[in-house]
Structures are given as structure tokens and as C-alpha cells.
Amino acid sequence: MRLLAKWGPPLGVLGGFVGCWYAVSFLLLSPERRFLVPPPQAVVETGFLDHANLVELLEGLAQSARVAMLGLGIAAGLGTGLAVLMHQARWIERSLYPYAVVLQTVPILALVPLLGFWFGFGLRSRVLVCVLIALFPIIANTLFGLHSVERGYHDLFTLHRATRQARLWKLELPAALPAILTGLRISAGLSVIGAIVGDFFFGQGQPGIGILIDLYRARLQSEQLFAAVILSSLLGVATFTAFGVLARRLVGRWHASSASAPNP
């Protein structure tokens, strides 16, 4: 009964979505235009049950996942480091934070040609796109977490003459961990988007799933195109879920927000 209550509503929505999909495919589109929205079973047969197609998609997906995770890792290190630096003094925060906001607001597509010029059209630029997209949530959440430590704890550390390092490692970073993990969770999804966007513009090297999507679009292979879109979405959902599980493991024992964070 509890399983039904948990999974019933999302499965019901999925069922409705697939029903609409069939309706569009068979009722709205004539057979010669059905390639625009191929029916679900055609997508499954061609995209997932055809071994050659499936291998091609999974290899592309693995490559995009590698790029996304590499970008996320760099963004996590850089973002946390910058936030800790900004937390050390108000003037550092006032100097750097506006540029972090600018980074968030600059349309990434406007930067893509420049990145290509500067870093080439291969892996480096793809990873860089992921870093640029994923960086801000990590900086903002980490900084929020570091600033949110209750005064009582700071008083305790001040009273006992804690060094700045002791305060950072024993109080501020552990207290900020739930916020840092929330930032990572958001950035994990964004870095997958970054990897696919990067694929579209930086085609050199081993193809990622974004390159395959572009290829299938050009060839009008709509079944594979749909299968690639579904796999890309699943990659985003998987990374979001993985970081939710990680957050529960790391801080769920003592922090309510992670203990009850909803999973997709």
C-alpha cells in the first residue's frame, strides 16, 4: 500500500504521458509525417533493442557523463575554494562575488565561440562549458552555508580561542556541508546539460550524446533521436539522484533537509 502511494502518482503521470505520445503519433500525425513523433514502441525497438544502435548511444552517453563529471569535479573544487576564500573576509567577498553573479548571468552560448578559439574544439572546451554552468550554484550554496553557522557555535569557538583553521575545519565546513551538497546536486544536473551543450559546439574527439543527437537530427533518424533524448534525461535524473543519496549518507543522520530531500 505504501509502495503504491509512493510510486502510483509518478507512474500515473508517466502512463498519461505515454498515452498522449501515442495519441499524437497515431491520431494527429499522418503516416508520412509520423517520423516527427515516432511511437514509443518504435523508439524502444530502434533505439534500445537494436544492439548496434544501443552500443552507439551508450558510448556517447558514457562520454558525456565523463565530461559532465570532470566538469562537476573541477567546479566543485573551484567553487568551494572560492567560497571559502570569500568567507575569510568581507572585502574578498565584495570583490569576487559580483563576478560570480556575472558568470551566472552571461549567456553561455555567447561564450561558446570564444571558448572554441581559445581552447580548441575538443574535450577541454566541453569540460570548460560544464564548469562555467555548474560553478555558481556551488559558490552560492557554499557561501550561504558558511555564513549560516549559528552565533552560539561561533561563541563557543571564540571562547576557547579556536584558530581560524580549527574554526573552518571543525565548525564552518561541516555545518555548511548540507548547503554544499545541495549546490552539488543542482550543479550535477547543470553539468549534464553543459556536457550536451558542449557536444553541440565542440565536435572534435570521441562523440558524446549531444553530438549523436545533432547527427540523428541531420539524418532524420527520429527513433534514435528520441532514444538519445530519453537517455540524456535519464543521465540528468541519475546524477541528481546519486547526489541526493550521497547527501543522505553524509548528512542525513543529523540534518533534516537531507534526510527528507525528495528524489525524482
Partner 1 sequence: MASSPRSPVLELERVRKRFSDGTPALDGIDLEVRQGELVSVVGPSGCGKSTLLRIVAGLTMPSSGMVCLRTRRIGFVFQDPTLLPWCSLRSNLELLGELEGTPRSEHQRLAGEAIAVVGLGELAGHPPRALSGGMRMRASLARSLTLRPDLFLLDEPFGALDELTRHRLTDELAQLLLERGFAALLVTKSVTEAVFLSSRVVVLSAQPGRVVGAFPVPFPYPRAPRLRHSGAFDRLAGEVSACLRAVGQCPAEVERG
Give the interface with partner 1 as residue ranges (CB under 8 A): 150, 152-153, 155-162, 166, 170-171, 174-175, 177, 251, 253-255
Where do we find the cell 562520454? 63
Nearer to partner 1, 174 or 203 (CB): 174
In whole angstroms, what is the distance from residue 226 CA to residue 223 CA? 5
Read off the DSSP letter of residue 206: S
Among 168, 164, 12, 13, smallest CA distance to 84 is for 168
Q: How far, CA to CA in Å, does 64 sit from each of 23, 72, 119, 130, 254? A: 32, 12, 18, 10, 34
| The dihedral sign for the CA sequence 150, 152, 153, 159 | positive
Q: Which is nearer to partner 1, 126 or 255 (CB)?
A: 255
Q: How far apart are CA 240 and CA 262, in angstroms?
A: 11
Taking the complex as a whole, the smallest distance from the CB of residue 161 to partner 1 amounts, in Å, to 7
CB of 166 to partner 1, least distance (A): 6
The CA-atom distances, in angstroms, between 159 and each of 102, 154, 166, 167, 196 are: 39, 8, 13, 12, 51
185/255 with CB nearer partner 1: 255
Of the two residues 30 and 260, which places its CB atom closer to partner 1 in the complex? 260
Closest CA to 194 of 128, 118, 111: 128
Least distance to partner 1, CB of residue 241, Å: 23
Which residue lies nearer to partner 1 by CB, 119 or 153? 153
Minimum gap (Å) between residue 162 Cβ and partner 1: 5
Q: Minimal CA–CA distance to 164: which of 85, 88, 83?
A: 88
CB of 153 to partner 1, least distance (A): 6
Q: How far is the CB of 152 from partner 1 (least distance, A)?
A: 4
Nearer to partner 1, 175 or 230 (CB): 175
Q: Quick one: DSSP state of residue 184?
A: H
